[in-house]
Amino acid sequence: MRFRIGLFMMLVLGLAACGSDSPPTSGEAIAFEDTCNDGNNGKRLAVEGYLILPDSFTDSTSVVLRLYESADLSGPPIGVQINFGTDPNRIEKVPTSYTDDDLKVHLADGSVVGYTTLVRVSGSVYYPLVGQDFVCGLENPLVERAS
């Protein structure tokens, strides 16, 4: 009986682990200003802009970057939840004291870009539960160079 319970628990945990981090896919293209509209929650959308690090963050496994429509980083941003790492669609760890030049994002094709590169980010739209400097965010991002 204990063997069956143990086997069942391993199966449940294994299935939970498989579904928790699905590979990112391309989203439906949308205008930057329409991304956070009501009704987009959970939709997989693609938007172009410039990524920048937030003023501060505390998580050691991921960070919510800010995506701005223009290179001058004006206007309201969209959050982009991205994990640290050197695999595609990840951001390299930054030092404790960082500048904009420390942003190194690994694109889906494996190339690395900084904050001055126009990118296309596909992700599932979410609305933060607590106040942020962005209205909505994109999670499980696919990051590509914009054409």
Q: What pLDDT, in 10s, does the model give residues 61-115?
A: 999 999 999 999 999 999 999 999 999 999 999 999 999 999 999 999 999 999 9
Looking at residues 48-70, what average pLDDT do you find?
94
Flag whether pLDDT at 56 surpasses 50.
yes
Q: Number of structural domains, the chain?
A: 1
Query: What pTM was estimated for this model as a whole?
Result: 0.84
What pairs with residue 137 in β-bridges?
A: 79, 126
Domain that holds residue 125: 24-145
Q: Considering the domain boundaries, does residue 17 fall inside one? A: no
Q: Considering the domain boundaries, does residue 16 fall inside one? A: no
Angle formed at CA 109 by CA 103 and CA 113, multiple of 5 degrees: 20
pLDDT level of residue 12 (50, 70, 90 thresholds): very low
To the nearest whole number, what is the mean pLDDT of the chain? 88
52-76 in b/e burial notation, b at 16+ Cβ within 10 A?
bbeeeeeeeeebbbbbbbeeeeeee
What pLDDT is stored for residue 47 in this prediction?
Answer: 98
In three-state secondary structure terms, 145 is strand
Q: Considering the domain boundaries, does residue 7 fall inside one? A: no
CATH number, position 96? 2.40.50.140
